[in-house]
Amino acid sequence: MKKLALHWKIMLGMVIGVIVGVIAVQFESGPGLIIDWVKPLGTIFINVLKMIAMPLIIASLIKGLSDLQDISKLSILGKRTIGIYLVTTVFAVTIGLTIVNIVQPGKTINEQTRTELEQAYATQADRTRSMAQQAQEAGPLQPLEDLFAENVFASLSDNGNMLQIIVISIFFGIGLILLPNEKVSIVKKFFDGLNEVILKLIDLIMLTAPYGVAALLAALVAESPSVDIFIALLWYALCVVLGLAILVGIVYPLLMRIFTGKSFGFFFNGIAPAQLVAFSTSSSAATLPVTMERTEEHLGVDKEVTSFVLPIGATINMDGTSLYQAIAAVFIAQAFGIELSLTAQLGIVLTATLASIGSAAVPSAGMVMLVIVLAQAGIPEAGLALIFAVDRPLDMCRTVANVTGDATVSMLVAKSVGKLGEPKVKDWDDHYPKIEN
């Protein structure tokens, strides 16, 4: 039997998962069987990826910083990374606002559908508003305070504290740079070895990806709400998907083409497996190990850049989330008959940009931050119930944009500092071991 490349196996797993889910919902006991016996396999796959994400960030970031040799290089990388991330985020929000104002999807939502959704998702909306209220009640410098952990081991125990771990790793890496090499050579070798072991574990984990994504999508189909609700929200979903498609299919590859000279085909062939994992897991953090491997091995970005840019991007560069928040805010306003002024929409641009930075790199984190965007624009928070029904599949799509944006920025930063070369691996199957049938 002809061997398939792993990204094709992942895609085949996605198709099989959807088919299994569709067949299961035709029987009364089908959804229960999927949730009890199939969904746990997908959950295990996500958990293993999340498990490896934190050690990967620590090892790769410390190794990358210690290899810089010069503290001035860290300053250059940091400024260019943050600057480009902010520019791409503003691009994303602007695209979202443009589309939603042209299409006006909120005008298609009727009163009956809105009432049913508000009743069905009232409890979930209340929980989200409560979490967002805590964020709003915090002081203006609370986000800055949250960057610095009082207990390293407590931060290590929660993937939601990824920004704290990044700060700790950067601090540790700076210490290695400032000390003479003979005094820290053993420490550097330790993190070099740890990084290699983690990368090998990622190779092994990715061999199970087709089965993991199949289980995840089968469960998603089995748990989906009724078709009528999806039809009522079709225009909203299409606006989000169209915006994300423009971002992923035009803006990112165009930026990459202009500033690096690489072709569209080269870029998408290199990053496609990470995009598929992002779509399946809805988590930039869970996808981070794959994103780092693909960007370094298949796009030619130097490890010094990937180990710094990508972990930061997984936590603060949420372009897909920003675009979604802009469209969702205006959509909800339209559904409630509220006309938003240009000033209010410019406020959405700023708030969505800042909110995306504070969004955790986990599934549906953008929903919590959306409440802050709605409050800033004076839009009823009860409108959250309108979009809960389709949030999960759209979350999968916007995670693809987040991950693609991270890879794009890493290429741009690498090119600007002379660290973009030829890929180490030009074919997926040359890198991953094959399984004989």
Ordered by start, the domain boundaries in the chain are: 6-427
Tokens (6 digits) for 351? 């708030």
CA angle 415, 419, 422 (to 5 degrees): 90
Residue type, 278: A
List C-alpha distances in Å: 219 to 33, 215, 225, 387. 10, 6, 12, 20
pTM value is 0.65
Q: What is the pLDDT of residues 253-309, one digit of tens each?
A: 999 999 998 988 899 989 999 998 888 877 787 788 889 889 988 998 988 888 888
- CATH architecture designation of domain 6-427: Orthogonal Bundle (1.10)
Instruction: Please list, in sequence order, all residues whose beta carbon lies within 8 angstroms of the beta carbon of residue 135, skipping any fewer than 6 positions away.
Output: 358, 368, 369, 372
Tell me the pLDDT of the chain (437 aa) as tens digits: 357 766 678 778 888 988 998 899 888 888 889 989 998 998 888 788 778 877 877 887 787 777 665 666 667 777 888 888 888 888 898 899 899 889 888 777 666 655 655 554 555 455 545 555 665 566 666 667 777 888 888 888 776 666 688 788 888 988 888 888 888 889 989 988 988 888 788 778 878 888 988 888 888 778 765 555 556 578 888 999 999 999 999 999 999 999 998 988 899 989 999 998 888 877 787 788 889 889 988 998 988 888 888 887 876 778 888 898 888 888 877 776 677 777 777 777 776 666 555 454 444 455 556 666 776 666 666 566 567 656 777 888 888 999 999 999 999 999 988 888 887 766 544 444 444 43
* Residues found in the chain: 437
What pLDDT is attached to residue 434? Answer: 44
How crowded is residue 71: how many other Cβ atoms within 10 Å of its Cβ? 11
Which pLDDT score is estimated for 432? 44
Output the pLDDT for position 135: 56
pLDDT at position 162 = 66
Sequence-separated (6 or more) residues with CB below 8 Å from residue 315? 162, 163, 166, 284, 285, 360, 361
Contact 35, 222 (CB under 8 A): yes
* Residue 345, token pair as written in the block: 């929409």
Identify residue 385 by its one-letter amino acid code. A
pLDDT of residue 382: 59
Name the residue type at position 25: V
Cβ proximity of 4 and 430 under 8 Å? no
Quote the tokens at residue 325. Answer: 């928040």
CA atoms within 13 A on the CB side of 403: 35
